Structure 1
Amino acid sequence: MFSFRTTRQDSQSVSLECMFCFAELRWLSISQREAHYEHHFINDIDAPHEGQRTASTLLVPLRKSGPDPNASKPRFRKSPFPCNKETDVFWHAAQSTPPPPSYTPGLVPLLRKGLLKGHARGYIRRAVLCCDTAVHVNREPWDAGWGCGYRNFLMACTVLMNQRKQPLYPPLLDFPISPGIRNLQTWIEAAWKEGFDPDGQQQLKRLVNTHKWIGTSDLWVAFISRAIPAELVDFQSQKDSQFKISDVVINWVVKYFTPEQIIEKPMNAFESLETSPVINTDKPPLILQHDGHSKTVVGYEVDKNGMTSLLVFDPAHKPSLDVRKAAISTFRLASVQNDSRANDSGSTHSLKRKRSGTVEDKELDLHGIVKKFRLEPKALGKKKEYQILYFPMTAPLTDYERMQRKEVQSIRII
């Protein structure tokens, strides 16, 4: 009935891992293993779509368990759901501590390498990416099925907490409660108490310590309540429209990410030769929501045939171990180089780090990595409505401006 993933650890023991969450199952009975898998199936099949504010159904409650402190060997009975332990940690690239397992910094620079490889092979004409400080944050087993909105929030915060354009953003986000999944629930309920989003409060009723889905409009409320400027843009397919919704969304994203000097001043042949086919900007990523899911958009690419696809960080996608290792290596190399420039020292040690970082790049199919982050127009066209949340990076809102935004506001494109 169920399939199990077994890996040989040594000559005397075999690891029995869950195919979904890779939790160790060999100490569980057959009935407990079946219950564990049934838990995954129930969450995946019976759960309502994520991102719908009206969906307030609770999933199966999480069960926590810990090892017996008096046991020297794993003879005690473990919970059928060891993967459900909550690890609600916030991290961003300016911190000195290592990234938690669900955080992968350095993916944007790694994507840039892959896009350059694709251009060199003639597959890609050009691409534009958001700021390098964006961090991929994937869901974990304990928030699988309901955590994507929260994880996109964390991805946005990794950038807003680590930028220099608006130095007041970090303290506004960090005080009195720092970003986090459970903390975001507290943020939103605190905003309700201030009079923000009465419609959302009416629909969700209660949020703290629940598994309720949230969408981009709820994130807008959270950021506005903290005086962080944010904007919502709505896209809705119309039967009598001559434009495809996928084209409209993509064109809006392209305009958002493309540097103004390129739009205002078309390049001649000589300038285009001097310009990299893959451009990094200081733009923060944006959050794209449709019925059932949401993703963080980190840029776009134009292939050899002129088709434009979005590049996204999907919280439901966990980077492979090799990709995460290469991304973190790229991130650490950039940190070392930045420290070297700050200290005005070009030591031999930094050069050695650079050489060691390129070995992993050669072992990986960098262009192949890009495919895992590509969202093509055909996939976009399957949905009829989208909403985008983006950050204009303007000065923090005044108290008056905050009060003028108690009702959710958005701009409609089509």
Structure 2
Amino acid sequence: MTAEIPKIEIISDKEHIGSHKEDQVGWRQDRDAFVKGMKALQESSRTHGIIPKLQPHFMSLKKQGKTSMVYLCSPDTDHVATGLMDLGWGCGYRNCQMLMTYLSKQREENVPILDGVVNIKGLQLLLENAWKEGFDPAGAAQLEHRVYKTHKWIGTTEVYTMLAYLGIRLTLGDSCTILDFDRPTGTNNSHDAMFDWIQSYFEEGCSEEGKLGEADARQQHTGKQKDRVVHITNRPPIYLQHSGHSRTIIGIEILSDGKRNLVMFDPGRRMARSYKKKVSVPEDDMYNSGLLSLNNDEENTSTDTPPEELPDGWLSKMRNLFTVPASNLLRPFRVDSNSIASNPQYQLLVLGEVNELRVTAPTHQCLRWNPNKSFLLSSEERDQNKKIGSFRVV
């Protein structure tokens, strides 16, 4: 039997005489009480602070002449890994949780947009409650109105439904929508239009006054912004769905030969210890985690030979033995265009608002993310966005 969860009371504008601000405050209180009633995501599934740690590895590839430019999303985005209990079916929930890690660290009117990240069972209850309130009736029917304590897969529409139910904006103009790249647009089945849009999305994040990532803001202040290779922006991550799997886009890499890689968090990949440690990563051509470990344990060794008396070349040999190439450390995150070409269709779910500009250009070049729009829907907007639509970009 499906567990019951409290219904969120939404007061419409007709029923409430007061300011829009008061309406928003009441909505937030109801929503936050709901989230607090759910069990939180276990910290063992979550890895904080990965995005800044990617920077030196990309810098290393730049020195080797392999990488030209990298754009990354907000460092407030955490990686969430699939566990044994949801192996093979939980990717949709895990990617939703990654979006929620970003939202939980954003503030509007000095209040967190989302008060915490709930576990998978909590998300399943949330989804069922959203269906009861009339969100995505077609999707509810397809999944027989039940997901709690099941291993049913979910996709883009269910992730949208859960977040919209919590009052999070995911719209194109005034309508809720999913960006649909339903066919390849380049040679060898490549998705050039999708890559173009994603690149533009992150590039534009470098020029938003007051909204730059901390690293980019420091470089702009010192006049070195134009010389940067890795741009860490404040743009939200993007949910990406294709047949059978979903991932979270955290950036894009432009290679020296003009080819591009998506930079993604895959819930099916566990994070290496080097990304979990709270240590600064050296900006070197190679990240030698093994050598760092040797140095840290040096005082506990029983050798009678002090380091300065070791034979010439010993340190160099040990460095080569324990170093890991930057490309290997980035392998869990980089996905090239050939891999993306293996699927004919992709859907993107973008936090916030995307607007279609009235200009004469291919459709994917007319869509722009609005950095000035609130992430939170009003109660009226939330009611208007219960039905889901998709926007065919190409």
TM range (shorter): 0.5 to 0.7
Instruction: State how 1:204-283 maps to structure 2 within 5 Å.
Output: 204-205=143-144, 206-231=146-171, 232-237=178-183, 244-259=189-204, 274-283=226-235
Segments of structure 2 that go 5 or more residues without pairing to the other structure are 1-38, 172-177, 209-222, 283-291, 297-318, 353-370
Question: Do residues 192 (structure 1) and 126 (structure 2) align?
Answer: no
TM-score norm. by structure 2 comes to 0.65
Report Cα offsets for 1:330-362 as digits up to 9, x if no partner.
49x9xxxxxxxxxxxxxxxxxxxxxx89x8999
* Higher RCO (CA < 8 A, seq sep 6+): 2
Equivalenced residues, count:
281
Aligned partners of 1:257, 1:318: CA distance in 2, in Å?
25
Asked if residue 295 in structure 1 is aligned to residue 243 in structure 2, the reply is no
How far the C-alpha of 1:245 sits from its partner, in A, is: 4.9
CA deviations on 1:151-193 (whole Å, 9 max, x unpaired) are 101111111001235755535x55xxx5221111111111111
Q: Aligned pair 1:366/2:326, yes or no?
A: yes
Distance (Å, rounded) in 1 between the aligned partners of 2:192 and 2:55 = 24
- Identity percentage over the alignment? 30
Contact 2:135 2:165 survives alignment (8 Å): yes
1:325 Cα offset (Å): 3.6
Kindly tell me: are residues 169 and 236 of structure 1, through their superposed partners in 2, closer, same or farther at Cα, counting changes over 3 Å?
farther
- 2:41 paired residue among 80, 86, 90: 90
Structure 1 residues 281 and 156: CA distance shift in structure 2, 3 A: same
Q: Which residue of 1 aligns with 2:388?
A: 408
After TM superposition, list the pairs within 5 Å mapping 1:148-167 onto structure 2: 148-164=91-107, 167=110
Taking the aligned partners of 2:109 and 2:247, their CA distance within structure 1 comes to 24
Q: Distance in 1 between matches of 2:226 and 2:345?
A: 39
- Which one is further off, 186-195 or 388-397? 388-397
TM-score, normalised by the number of residues in structure 1:
0.62
Which has the larger share of strand?
Answer: 2
SS in 2 for 1:101: helix
Report the residue type matching 1:218 in the other structure: E
For 2:8, the equivalent position in structure 1 comes to: none
Distance 1:218 1:124 in 2: 36
Residue 110 (1) aligns with residue 40 (2): no
Query: Counterparts of 2:129 and 2:386 in 1: how far apart (Å)?
Result: 13
2:275 is the alignment partner of 1:324: yes
Tell me the equivalent position of 1:312: 264
1:330-349 alignment, distance < 5 Å: 330=280
For the structure 1 residues 137 and 389, does the alpha-carbon distance in structure 2 shift closer, same or farther, using more than 3 Å as the test? Answer: same
Shift of 1:228: 0.6
Distance across 1 between alignment mates of 2:87 and 2:51: 24
TM alignment of 1:126-145, pairs within 5 A: 126-145=69-88
Cα distance, 1:133–1:405 mapped onto 2, change above 3 Å:
same
Decide whether aligned partners of structure 1 residues 225 and 166 sit closer, same or farther in structure 2, where only a CA change above 3 A counts: farther
| Residues 160 and 170, structure 1, Cα contact 8 Å, conserved in 2 | yes
After superposition, the C-alpha distances for 1:275-320 in whole angstroms (9 at most, x for unaligned) are 3111010011111100000001110101111101100110111123
Counterpart CA distance in 2 for 1:279 and 1:398 is 33
CA 1:413 to 1:167, structure 2 compared with 1: closer, same or farther past 3 Å?
A: farther
User: In 1, Cα distance between the equivalents of 2:126 and 2:105?
Assistant: 20
Aligned residue in 2 for 1:57: none
Q: 1:315 to 1:273 in 2, by over 3 A?
A: closer
- Give 3-state SS (helix, strand or coil) of 2:107's partner: coil
Q: How many Å separate the matches in 2 of 1:89 and 1:191? A: 19
Distance 1:170 1:203, change over 3 A: same
Contact 2:202 2:235 in 1 (8 A): yes
Distance in 2 between residues matched to 1:289 and 1:101, nearest whole Å: 25
1:377 to 337, 355, 358: 337
